[in-house]
């Protein structure tokens, strides 16, 4: 699932976009409540392409 609002891209969609331009994509999921100030139910992540 993307953002709790229904907007945004999933991690898989984001990885595909980065890889489609020829980069190697690395994914780090960020589900820890400490980052957001509360428990989350949507998908939070960081993608880096190089």
Tokens describing residue 44? 């939070």
Determine the Cα–Cα distance for residues 15 and 26; give it in Å rounded to an integer.
Answer: 8
Instruction: Answer whether residue 3 is part of any domain.
Output: no
Position 5 in a domain: no
Residue 40 within a domain: yes
pLDDT at residue 17, as a whole number:
96
Taking only the tens place, the pLDDT of each residue in 3-31 is 667 788 999 999 999 999 999 999 999 99
Number of domains in the chain: 1
Look up the domain containing 40 and give its range. 11-49
Domain-located, residue 29? yes
Cβ contact 47:13 at 8 Å:
no
- The whole-number pLDDT of residue 1 equals 55
d(CA 39, CA 26): 24
| pLDDT value of position 6 | 75
**Confidence class for position 45, pLDDT limits 50, 70, 90:** very high
Pick the closest to residue 4 from 42, 31, 33, 36 (CA basis).
42
């Amino acid at each position: 699932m993307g953002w709790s609002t229904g907007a945004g891209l999933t991690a898989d969609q984001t990885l595909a976009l980065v890889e489609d331009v020829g980069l190697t994509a690395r994914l780090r999921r960020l589900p820890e409540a400490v980052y957001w100030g509360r428990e989350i139910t949507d998908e939070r992540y960081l993608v880096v392409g190089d």
